[in-house]
């Protein structure tokens, strides 16, 4: 014996007795379901921006045929984006321990020599690099966007979108190759006295290339290790999900960004994304004397002071704000003028068109947005002047903001200055 193998390329280097097909298969099957849901809800999130409607809505303008699936985002149920994006972010965070445990369980395979035995083997290993690299990239960019307002060079959106396609392509190839064997490994149950099955099991165990040839003594069983990983996931889930449930649960979201210890305690009683100061909104521009809403359509342009707006029929709707970052608010009680009534002021009776919304903000990605005709037509879509029985606070968009059912927060433009109706 004497010399212990020291290099990771030697199988003897890896000594955990936990590694083996069963452990890897259980984690792999959880990821099979989880990552598929992440991919679908991620694509859905991009569609919810209505990127085909206008370039300002499009966070990934060079997507080409990868946008083949885009569809017009509906306005109901009102909690639609709350649900899809809450699921996307909460699930992504919950799966982190599973992903890391899965990578750990197969890490010896990344080091096996020779690097390639054949062309097929070389291709398989390249696809594994895309799988591992793509997975780490998607989880890292996602978490950074949620937690840190992002720190990567370039926009989060295209990186996360293209990364998702690369990752998911490698993931599908991997799943097609590995799922049948993983299912067999997990399902295997021996009937008493079934010699054939016993022999098959023994043969499979001998062929288990994930088992360490020279393992250390166990400190925890494989089942115990799985419980540990699952417990980590559960803990992340419980400290994250409250940000998507809102209301009293918001306080349980210890890991959630924004809002500090009392996220519901802000002005108007719900959380703020960007403040008026951050957006560079000058109080002089929002005053009763200075502010005018400029509404344009095919019959011309109308300028309305806030007092004149208040002369129009006011309506209420209970709608949440749901951010791409995964957090959302419970329904808030908004009051204001229907977008379709404003369209009617400039010549669109009955069948309103799309609208382009611009705010007082001069810089920043979300200072303007386009809304589709179905969003304008919905009677719950408002240019809100009040929320929860009070004037809109400066941070929530005073003097007026858009609120549209089922849409991502990005489309709920604050500090609105101009509405331009017409087909976009």
Ligand X SMILES: Nc1nc2c(c(=O)[nH]1)N[C@H]1C(S)=C(S)[C@@H](COP(=O)(O)O)O[C@H]1N2
* Residues in touch with ligand X (CB under 6 A): 271-274, 279, 321, 323, 359, 361, 364, 366-367, 396, 409-410, 412-415
CA 29 to each of CA 74, 96, 105, 207: distance values in angstroms, whole numbers, following the listed order: 33, 15, 14, 20
Contact by Cβ (8 Å): 233, 97: yes
Apex CA 39: angle with CA 35 and CA 44, to 5°?
A: 145
Least distance from ligand X to the Cβ atom of residue 303, Å: 20
Of 12-20, 93-101, 320-328, 392-400, which part binds Mo ion (CB under 5 A)? 320-328
CB distance 305 to 396 below 8 Å:
no
The structure tokens 């305690």 sit at: 265
Residue 303 parent element (H or E): strand 300-304
Pick the closer one to ligand X by CB: 317 or 359: 359
Q: How far is the CB of 279 from ligand X (least distance, A)?
A: 5
- Does 403 bind Mo ion (CB under 5 A)? Our answer is no
Question: What's the closest the beta carbon of residue 312 comes to ligand X, in angstroms?
Answer: 22
For Mo ion, the closer CB: 28 or 409: 409
Shortest Cβ 413–Mo ion spacing (Å): 11
Of 30, 101, 182, 323, the one binding Mo ion (CB under 5 A) is: 323
Of the pair 87, 323, the CB lying nearest Mo ion is at 323
**409 near Mo ion, rule: CB under 5 A:** yes
C-beta of 82 vs 340, nearer to ligand X: 82
What, of Mo ion, ligand X, none, does residue 271 touch, CB below 5 to 8 Å by kind? ligand X
Q: Which does 415 bind (CB under 5 to 8 A by kind): ligand X, Mo ion, none?
A: ligand X
Give yes or no for residue 281 binding Mo ion (CB under 5 A).
Answer: no
Quick one: what does residue 414 bind among Mo ion, ligand X, none, with the CB cut-off 5 to 8 Å set by partner type?
Answer: ligand X
β strands within 245-299, DSSP E: 293-297
- Residue given tokens 């802000």 in the structure block: 266
Three-state DSSP class for 274?
A: coil
Neighbours of 95 (CB within 10 A): 23
- To which H or E segment does residue 191 belong? none
Number of residues this chain uses to bind Mo ion (CB under 5 A): 2
With CB under 5 to 8 Å by kind, the binding choice for 366 among Mo ion, ligand X, none is: ligand X
Radius of gyration of the chain (CA): 27
User: CA geometry: angle at 294 spanning 292 and 298, to 5°?
Assistant: 160
Q: Which is nearer to ligand X, 226 or 357 (CB)?
A: 357
- Three-state DSSP at 356 gives strand
Q: Which residues bind Mo ion (CB under 5 A)?
A: 323, 409
């Amino acid at each position: 014996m004497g010399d212990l193998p020291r290099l990771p390329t030697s199988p003897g280097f890896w000594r955990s007795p936990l590694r083996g097909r069963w452990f890897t298969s259980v984690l792999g099957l959880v990821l099979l379901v989880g990552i598929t849901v992440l991919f679908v809800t991620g694509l859905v999130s991009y569609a919810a921006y209505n990127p085909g409607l206008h370039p300002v809505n499009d966070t990934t303008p060079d997507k080409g045929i990868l946008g083949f699936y885009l569809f017009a985002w509906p306005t109901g149920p009102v909690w639609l984006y709350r649900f899809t994006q809450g699921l996307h972010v909460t699930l992504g965070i919950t799966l982190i321990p599973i992903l890391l445990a899965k990578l750990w369980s197969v890490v010896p395979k990344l080091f096996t020599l020779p690097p390639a035995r054949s062309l097929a083997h070389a291709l398989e290993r390249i696809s594994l690099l895309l799988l591992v690299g793509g997975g780490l990239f998607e989880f890292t960019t996602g978490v950074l966007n949620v937690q840190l307002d992002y720190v990567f060079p370039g926009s989060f959106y295209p990186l996360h979108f293209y990364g998702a396609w690369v990752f998911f392509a490698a993931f599908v190839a991997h799943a097609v190759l590995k799922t049948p064997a993983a299912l067999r490994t997990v399902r295997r149950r021996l009937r008493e006295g079934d010699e054939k099955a016993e022999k098959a099991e023994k043969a499979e165990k001998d062929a288990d290339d994930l088992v360490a040839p020279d393992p250390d003594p166990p400190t925890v069983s494989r089942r115990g290790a799985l419980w540990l990983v699952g417990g980590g996931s559960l803990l992340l889930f419980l400290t994250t999900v409250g940000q998507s449930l809102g209301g009293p649960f918001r306080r349980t979201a210890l890991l959630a960004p924004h809002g500090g210890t009392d996220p519901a305690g802000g002005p108007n009683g719900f959380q703020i994304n960007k403040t008026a100061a951050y957006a560079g909104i000058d109080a002089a521009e929002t005053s009763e004397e200075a502010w005018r809403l400029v509404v344009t359509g095919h019959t011309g342009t109308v300028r309305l002071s806030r007092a004149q707006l208040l002369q129009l029929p006011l309506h209420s709707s209970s709608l949440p704000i749901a951010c791409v970052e995964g957090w959302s608010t419970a329904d808030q009680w908004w009051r204001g003028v229907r977008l379709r009534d404003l369209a009617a002021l400039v010549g669109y009776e009955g069948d309103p068109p799309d609208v382009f919304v611009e705010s007082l903000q001069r810089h920043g990605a979300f200072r303007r947005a386009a809304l589709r005709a179905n969003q304008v037509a919905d009677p719950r879509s408002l240019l809100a002047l009040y929320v929860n029985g009070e004037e809109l606070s400066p941070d929530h968009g005073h003097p007026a903001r858009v609120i549209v059912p089922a849409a991502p927060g990005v489309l709920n433009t604050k500090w609105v200055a101009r509405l331009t109706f017409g087909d976009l």
